[in-house]
Structure 1
Protein backbone atom coordinates (compact mmCIF):
# COMPACT_ATOMS: atom_id res chain seq x y z
CA UNK A 1 0.00 0.00 0.00
CA UNK A 2 1.50 3.36 -1.01
CA UNK A 3 2.03 6.19 1.45
CA UNK A 4 -0.02 9.41 1.06
CA UNK A 5 1.97 12.27 -0.49
CA UNK A 6 4.12 14.14 2.01
CA UNK A 7 4.30 11.32 4.54
CA UNK A 8 7.25 9.16 5.47
CA UNK A 9 7.37 5.52 6.39
CA UNK A 10 8.17 5.13 10.13
CA UNK A 11 11.78 4.11 10.47
CA UNK A 12 12.48 5.08 6.86
CA UNK A 13 15.06 7.42 5.41
CA UNK A 14 13.36 10.55 6.74
CA UNK A 15 13.37 9.22 10.30
CA UNK A 16 16.96 8.05 9.96
CA UNK A 17 18.05 11.44 8.64
CA UNK A 18 16.25 13.24 11.47
CA UNK A 19 17.93 11.04 14.09
CA UNK A 20 21.34 11.60 12.48
CA UNK A 21 20.83 15.37 12.37
CA UNK A 22 19.65 15.55 16.00
CA UNK A 23 22.67 13.53 17.14
CA UNK A 24 25.01 15.65 15.03
CA UNK A 25 23.50 18.86 16.38
CA UNK A 26 24.07 17.80 19.97
CA UNK A 27 27.63 16.72 19.18
CA UNK A 28 28.38 20.04 17.49
CA UNK A 29 26.94 22.02 20.40
CA UNK A 30 28.89 19.94 22.90
CA UNK A 31 32.17 20.38 21.04
CA UNK A 32 31.86 23.84 19.47
CA UNK A 33 29.16 25.73 21.34
CA UNK A 34 26.15 27.49 19.90
CA UNK A 35 27.93 30.31 18.08
CA UNK A 36 30.28 28.01 16.17
CA UNK A 37 27.62 25.45 15.29
CA UNK A 38 26.15 25.94 11.82
CA UNK A 39 23.64 24.10 9.69
CA UNK A 40 26.49 23.28 7.34
CA UNK A 41 28.63 21.77 10.12
CA UNK A 42 25.69 19.74 11.38
CA UNK A 43 24.90 18.46 7.89
CA UNK A 44 28.52 17.47 7.33
CA UNK A 45 28.68 15.57 10.62
CA UNK A 46 25.31 13.90 10.00
CA UNK A 47 26.29 12.84 6.50
CA UNK A 48 23.36 14.57 4.83
CA UNK A 49 23.12 17.43 2.35
CA UNK A 50 22.66 20.85 3.90
CA UNK A 51 19.49 21.39 1.86
CA UNK A 52 17.97 18.44 3.74
CA UNK A 53 18.53 20.28 7.01
CA UNK A 54 17.39 23.66 5.68
CA UNK A 55 14.25 22.14 4.20
CA UNK A 56 13.11 20.69 7.52
CA UNK A 57 14.38 23.20 10.10
CA UNK A 58 15.05 26.39 8.06
CA UNK A 59 17.05 28.08 10.84
CA UNK A 60 19.73 27.10 13.32
CA UNK A 61 17.52 28.25 16.19
CA UNK A 62 14.76 25.80 15.23
CA UNK A 63 17.27 23.02 14.71
CA UNK A 64 18.87 23.50 18.13
CA UNK A 65 15.51 23.84 19.86
CA UNK A 66 14.20 20.60 18.37
CA UNK A 67 17.43 18.75 19.12
CA UNK A 68 17.21 19.72 22.79
CA UNK A 69 13.48 18.99 22.96
CA UNK A 70 14.15 15.54 21.49
CA UNK A 71 16.38 14.77 24.47
CA UNK A 72 13.85 15.79 27.11
CA UNK A 73 13.51 12.20 28.22
CA UNK A 74 16.99 12.30 29.74
CA UNK A 75 16.31 11.90 33.45
CA UNK A 76 18.06 12.20 36.77
CA UNK A 77 17.46 9.34 39.16
CA UNK A 78 15.27 10.22 42.15
CA UNK A 79 16.53 8.00 44.98
CA UNK A 80 14.50 6.92 48.02
CA UNK A 81 16.87 5.11 50.35
CA UNK A 82 15.65 6.60 53.63
CA UNK A 83 19.12 8.08 54.06
CA UNK A 84 19.02 11.78 53.14
CA UNK A 85 22.79 12.06 52.77
CA UNK A 86 22.84 9.12 50.36
CA UNK A 87 19.83 10.44 48.46
CA UNK A 88 21.48 13.82 47.90
CA UNK A 89 24.75 12.17 46.97
CA UNK A 90 22.97 10.02 44.39
CA UNK A 91 21.13 13.06 43.07
CA UNK A 92 24.35 15.08 42.78
CA UNK A 93 26.02 12.22 40.93
CA UNK A 94 23.04 12.18 38.58
CA UNK A 95 23.52 15.86 37.88
CA UNK A 96 27.20 15.25 37.19
CA UNK A 97 26.30 12.44 34.79
CA UNK A 98 23.90 14.68 32.87
CA UNK A 99 26.37 17.57 32.72
CA UNK A 100 29.10 15.35 31.31
CA UNK A 101 26.85 13.55 28.82
CA UNK A 102 26.63 14.70 25.21
CA UNK A 103 23.12 16.02 25.81
CA UNK A 104 24.03 17.84 29.02
CA UNK A 105 27.20 19.29 27.60
CA UNK A 106 25.29 20.55 24.57
CA UNK A 107 22.64 22.11 26.78
CA UNK A 108 25.21 23.79 29.02
CA UNK A 109 27.18 25.23 26.12
CA UNK A 110 23.98 26.46 24.50
CA UNK A 111 22.90 28.00 27.79
CA UNK A 112 26.05 30.12 27.80
CA UNK A 113 25.74 31.46 24.26
CA UNK A 114 22.63 30.54 22.31
CA UNK A 115 20.09 31.38 24.98
CA UNK A 116 21.42 34.94 25.08
CA UNK A 117 20.49 35.62 21.46
CA UNK A 118 17.54 33.33 20.78
CA UNK A 119 14.33 33.52 22.85
CA UNK A 120 13.22 30.24 21.29
CA UNK A 121 16.34 28.42 22.44
CA UNK A 122 16.20 30.14 25.83
CA UNK A 123 12.67 28.85 26.43
CA UNK A 124 13.63 25.30 25.49
CA UNK A 125 16.59 25.43 27.87
CA UNK A 126 14.47 26.79 30.72
CA UNK A 127 12.10 23.86 30.25
CA UNK A 128 15.02 21.41 29.92
CA UNK A 129 16.62 22.46 33.23
CA UNK A 130 13.35 23.08 35.08
CA UNK A 131 12.43 19.45 34.55
CA UNK A 132 15.65 18.42 36.23
CA UNK A 133 15.42 20.90 39.10
CA UNK A 134 12.05 19.49 40.14
CA UNK A 135 13.59 16.06 40.66
CA UNK A 136 14.67 17.04 44.16
CA UNK A 137 11.16 17.92 45.37
CA UNK A 138 10.15 14.41 46.53
CA UNK A 139 13.45 13.96 48.39
CA UNK A 140 13.04 17.22 50.31
CA UNK A 141 9.34 16.67 51.00
CA UNK A 142 10.06 13.25 52.53
CA UNK A 143 12.89 14.67 54.64
CA UNK A 144 10.72 17.53 55.94
CA UNK A 145 7.83 15.17 56.69
CA UNK A 146 9.93 12.90 58.90
CA UNK A 147 11.86 15.70 60.60
CA UNK A 148 15.22 15.30 58.85
CA UNK A 149 15.00 18.83 57.44
CA UNK A 150 13.37 21.96 58.88
CA UNK A 151 9.80 22.77 57.82
CA UNK A 152 9.67 25.27 54.97
CA UNK A 153 12.83 24.02 53.28
CA UNK A 154 12.71 25.19 49.67
CA UNK A 155 13.31 22.23 47.36
CA UNK A 156 14.24 24.22 44.27
CA UNK A 157 16.70 26.47 46.10
CA UNK A 158 18.33 23.41 47.63
CA UNK A 159 18.65 21.82 44.19
CA UNK A 160 20.17 24.96 42.70
CA UNK A 161 22.87 25.04 45.36
CA UNK A 162 23.47 21.33 44.92
CA UNK A 163 24.08 21.79 41.22
CA UNK A 164 25.87 25.16 41.35
CA UNK A 165 29.38 23.90 42.19
CA UNK A 166 29.16 21.34 39.39
CA UNK A 167 28.01 23.95 36.87
CA UNK A 168 30.82 26.22 38.05
CA UNK A 169 33.44 23.59 37.23
CA UNK A 170 31.92 22.99 33.80
CA UNK A 171 31.21 26.60 32.81
CA UNK A 172 33.68 28.80 34.68
CA UNK A 173 36.85 26.88 35.45
CA UNK A 174 36.49 24.24 32.70
CA UNK A 175 37.62 21.54 35.11
CA UNK A 176 36.67 17.87 34.95
CA UNK A 177 33.71 16.93 37.14
CA UNK A 178 33.82 13.61 38.95
CA UNK A 179 31.85 11.78 41.63
CA UNK A 180 34.05 13.22 44.39
CA UNK A 181 32.99 16.72 43.34
CA UNK A 182 29.36 15.64 43.36
CA UNK A 183 29.72 14.08 46.80
CA UNK A 184 31.27 17.28 48.18
CA UNK A 185 28.42 19.38 46.77
CA UNK A 186 25.87 17.03 48.33
CA UNK A 187 27.55 17.15 51.74
CA UNK A 188 27.73 20.96 51.71
CA UNK A 189 24.09 21.32 50.74
CA UNK A 190 22.99 18.83 53.38
CA UNK A 191 24.80 20.76 56.11
CA UNK A 192 23.29 24.03 54.90
CA UNK A 193 19.80 22.55 54.65
CA UNK A 194 19.96 21.13 58.18
CA UNK A 195 21.01 24.58 59.42
CA UNK A 196 17.89 26.10 57.85
CA UNK A 197 19.66 28.00 55.09
CA UNK A 198 16.99 27.04 52.55
CA UNK A 199 13.95 27.68 54.75
CA UNK A 200 11.48 30.07 53.14
CA UNK A 201 9.65 32.25 55.62
Structure 2
Protein backbone atom coordinates (compact mmCIF):
# COMPACT_ATOMS: atom_id res chain seq x y z
CA UNK A 1 0.00 0.00 0.00
CA UNK A 2 2.75 2.49 0.92
CA UNK A 3 4.60 1.68 -2.31
CA UNK A 4 1.44 2.32 -4.33
CA UNK A 5 0.87 5.69 -2.67
CA UNK A 6 4.52 6.66 -3.14
CA UNK A 7 4.41 5.66 -6.82
CA UNK A 8 1.31 7.80 -7.39
CA UNK A 9 2.75 10.80 -5.54
CA UNK A 10 6.09 10.54 -7.34
CA UNK A 11 4.32 10.37 -10.70
CA UNK A 12 2.15 13.35 -9.76
CA UNK A 13 5.19 15.45 -8.84
CA UNK A 14 6.96 14.58 -12.07
CA UNK A 15 3.87 15.43 -14.10
CA UNK A 16 3.39 18.72 -12.25
CA UNK A 17 6.94 19.68 -13.15
CA UNK A 18 6.59 18.50 -16.76
CA UNK A 19 3.06 19.45 -17.86
CA UNK A 20 1.87 21.76 -15.07
CA UNK A 21 -1.29 21.67 -13.04
CA UNK A 22 -3.70 22.57 -15.86
CA UNK A 23 -2.70 19.48 -17.83
CA UNK A 24 -2.61 17.10 -14.84
CA UNK A 25 -5.24 14.34 -14.90
CA UNK A 26 -5.83 11.18 -12.94
CA UNK A 27 -5.44 9.32 -16.25
CA UNK A 28 -1.93 10.73 -16.78
CA UNK A 29 -0.98 9.88 -13.20
CA UNK A 30 -2.33 6.37 -13.67
CA UNK A 31 -0.31 5.90 -16.86
CA UNK A 32 2.89 7.29 -15.36
CA UNK A 33 2.62 5.43 -12.04
CA UNK A 34 1.21 2.13 -13.33
CA UNK A 35 -1.52 2.34 -10.68
CA UNK A 36 -5.15 1.89 -11.68
CA UNK A 37 -7.40 4.97 -11.66
CA UNK A 38 -9.81 3.24 -9.27
CA UNK A 39 -6.97 2.75 -6.78
CA UNK A 40 -5.95 6.40 -7.08
CA UNK A 41 -9.55 7.49 -6.44
CA UNK A 42 -9.61 5.38 -3.26
CA UNK A 43 -6.98 7.68 -1.79
CA UNK A 44 -7.82 11.06 -3.35
CA UNK A 45 -11.18 12.46 -4.46
CA UNK A 46 -9.82 14.71 -7.20
CA UNK A 47 -6.77 16.25 -8.84
CA UNK A 48 -6.47 19.14 -6.33
CA UNK A 49 -6.31 16.73 -3.37
CA UNK A 50 -3.78 14.57 -5.20
CA UNK A 51 -1.61 17.57 -6.09
CA UNK A 52 -1.60 18.83 -2.50
CA UNK A 53 -0.74 15.35 -1.21
CA UNK A 54 2.14 15.18 -3.70
CA UNK A 55 3.37 18.59 -2.59
CA UNK A 56 3.27 17.54 1.07
CA UNK A 57 5.03 14.27 0.17
CA UNK A 58 7.80 16.20 -1.61
CA UNK A 59 8.49 18.24 1.51
CA UNK A 60 9.06 15.04 3.47
CA UNK A 61 7.92 14.17 6.95
CA UNK A 62 7.16 16.96 9.36
CA UNK A 63 9.77 17.16 12.03
CA UNK A 64 8.99 18.75 15.35
CA UNK A 65 10.29 22.26 15.87
CA UNK A 66 13.43 22.22 17.99
CA UNK A 67 13.28 23.62 21.50
CA UNK A 68 16.79 24.09 22.83
CA UNK A 69 15.72 26.92 25.10
CA UNK A 70 17.28 29.47 22.73
CA UNK A 71 14.74 30.83 20.24
CA UNK A 72 17.48 32.20 17.98
CA UNK A 73 19.21 28.85 17.64
CA UNK A 74 15.85 27.12 17.14
CA UNK A 75 14.79 29.50 14.34
CA UNK A 76 18.13 29.10 12.57
CA UNK A 77 17.74 25.32 12.79
CA UNK A 78 14.15 25.44 11.47
CA UNK A 79 15.05 27.63 8.50
CA UNK A 80 18.21 25.73 7.63
CA UNK A 81 16.09 22.56 7.47
CA UNK A 82 13.49 24.36 5.34
CA UNK A 83 16.20 25.54 2.92
CA UNK A 84 17.31 21.93 2.51
CA UNK A 85 13.72 20.80 1.86
CA UNK A 86 13.13 23.60 -0.63
CA UNK A 87 16.34 22.75 -2.47
CA UNK A 88 14.88 19.41 -3.59
CA UNK A 89 14.72 19.83 -7.34
CA UNK A 90 11.36 18.11 -7.90
CA UNK A 91 9.76 20.23 -5.21
CA UNK A 92 11.09 23.43 -6.70
CA UNK A 93 9.99 22.46 -10.21
CA UNK A 94 6.47 21.46 -9.09
CA UNK A 95 5.79 24.46 -6.83
CA UNK A 96 5.03 27.02 -9.59
CA UNK A 97 2.25 24.86 -11.00
CA UNK A 98 0.79 24.38 -7.53
CA UNK A 99 0.81 28.12 -6.93
CA UNK A 100 -0.93 28.59 -10.28
CA UNK A 101 -3.57 26.07 -9.25
CA UNK A 102 -4.17 27.87 -5.97
CA UNK A 103 -4.83 31.09 -7.85
CA UNK A 104 -6.95 29.69 -10.69
CA UNK A 105 -8.70 26.50 -9.56
CA UNK A 106 -11.78 26.93 -7.33
CA UNK A 107 -11.54 23.33 -6.08
CA UNK A 108 -8.00 24.11 -4.93
CA UNK A 109 -8.96 27.16 -2.86
CA UNK A 110 -7.69 26.94 0.68
CA UNK A 111 -5.80 23.64 0.36
CA UNK A 112 -2.32 25.10 -0.06
CA UNK A 113 -2.77 27.67 2.74
CA UNK A 114 -3.99 24.91 5.07
CA UNK A 115 -0.97 22.78 4.22
CA UNK A 116 1.37 25.70 4.90
CA UNK A 117 -0.42 26.43 8.17
CA UNK A 118 0.01 22.82 9.31
CA UNK A 119 3.71 22.94 8.42
CA UNK A 120 4.16 26.12 10.48
CA UNK A 121 2.38 24.92 13.61
CA UNK A 122 5.50 23.70 15.42
CA UNK A 123 7.39 26.91 14.70
CA UNK A 124 4.39 28.97 15.80
CA UNK A 125 4.22 27.06 19.11
CA UNK A 126 7.95 27.60 19.64
CA UNK A 127 7.55 31.36 19.15
CA UNK A 128 4.54 31.51 21.47
CA UNK A 129 6.59 29.73 24.14
CA UNK A 130 9.39 32.28 23.68
CA UNK A 131 6.82 35.04 24.23
CA UNK A 132 5.43 33.32 27.35
CA UNK A 133 8.94 32.92 28.76
CA UNK A 134 9.78 36.56 28.14
CA UNK A 135 12.40 35.89 25.45
CA UNK A 136 10.27 37.81 22.94
CA UNK A 137 8.12 40.88 23.57
CA UNK A 138 4.42 40.24 24.26
CA UNK A 139 3.49 42.18 21.10
CA UNK A 140 5.70 39.99 18.88
CA UNK A 141 3.55 38.54 16.12
CA UNK A 142 4.53 34.92 15.38
CA UNK A 143 2.85 35.06 11.96
CA UNK A 144 4.88 38.11 10.91
CA UNK A 145 8.08 36.44 12.09
CA UNK A 146 7.28 33.25 10.18
CA UNK A 147 6.17 35.16 7.06
CA UNK A 148 9.35 37.23 7.03
CA UNK A 149 11.74 34.33 7.44
CA UNK A 150 9.88 31.96 5.15
CA UNK A 151 9.35 34.66 2.53
CA UNK A 152 13.10 35.10 2.11
CA UNK A 153 13.55 31.46 1.15
CA UNK A 154 10.54 31.37 -1.16
CA UNK A 155 11.73 34.54 -2.90
CA UNK A 156 15.07 32.91 -3.58
CA UNK A 157 13.40 29.70 -4.79
CA UNK A 158 10.72 31.23 -7.01
CA UNK A 159 11.97 34.65 -8.07
CA UNK A 160 15.71 35.22 -7.90
CA UNK A 161 16.95 31.64 -8.10
CA UNK A 162 19.82 32.52 -5.77
CA UNK A 163 21.28 30.14 -3.22
CA UNK A 164 18.96 29.61 -0.26
CA UNK A 165 21.82 28.24 1.79
CA UNK A 166 24.24 31.11 1.27
CA UNK A 167 26.51 31.07 4.33
CA UNK A 168 25.34 33.46 7.02
CA UNK A 169 22.10 34.48 5.30
CA UNK A 170 19.70 32.60 7.58
CA UNK A 171 21.59 33.74 10.69
CA UNK A 172 21.40 37.34 9.44
CA UNK A 173 17.66 37.07 8.69
CA UNK A 174 16.88 35.55 12.10
CA UNK A 175 19.02 38.17 13.86
CA UNK A 176 17.31 40.95 11.88
CA UNK A 177 13.83 39.74 12.84
CA UNK A 178 14.73 39.08 16.46
CA UNK A 179 16.29 42.54 16.81
CA UNK A 180 12.75 43.87 16.44
CA UNK A 181 11.06 41.63 19.02
CA UNK A 182 13.65 40.25 21.41
CA UNK A 183 13.63 41.29 25.04
CA UNK A 184 17.26 40.26 25.52
CA UNK A 185 16.10 38.02 28.35
CA UNK A 186 17.02 34.34 28.39
CA UNK A 187 14.49 31.85 29.74
CA UNK A 188 15.23 30.46 33.20
Q: 1:131: which partner in 2?
A: 118
Q: Unpaired runs of 5+ in structure 2? A: 184-188
Q: 1:188 aligns with which of 154, 176, 184?
A: 176
State whether residues 59 and 91 of structure 2, in contact with CA within 8 Å, keep that contact through their aligned partners in structure 1. no
Structure having the higher Rg: 1
TM-score, normalization: structure 2?
0.74
Q: Deviations over 1:142-179 (max 9, x none)?
A: 32233221112111111111101001011111233226
State whether residues 96 and 166 of structure 1, in contact with CA within 8 Å, keep that contact through their aligned partners in structure 2. yes
TM-score, normalization: structure 1?
0.70
Deviates more, 1:22-31 or 1:128-137: 22-31
Q: Give how far 1:91 is off.
A: 1.5
Q: Give how far 1:76 is off.
A: 4.3
Question: What is the root-mean-square deviation in Å for CA atoms of aligned residues?
Answer: 3.3
Q: Which has the higher contact order (CA 8 A, sep 6+)?
A: 2
Q: Unpaired runs of 5+ in structure 1? A: 1-10, 196-201
Q: Which residues in structure 2 correspond to 1:59-138 (within 5 Å)?
A: 60-68=47-55, 74-101=61-88, 104-105=91-92, 108-138=95-125
Q: 1:172: which partner in 2?
A: 159
The total of aligned residue pairs comes to 181
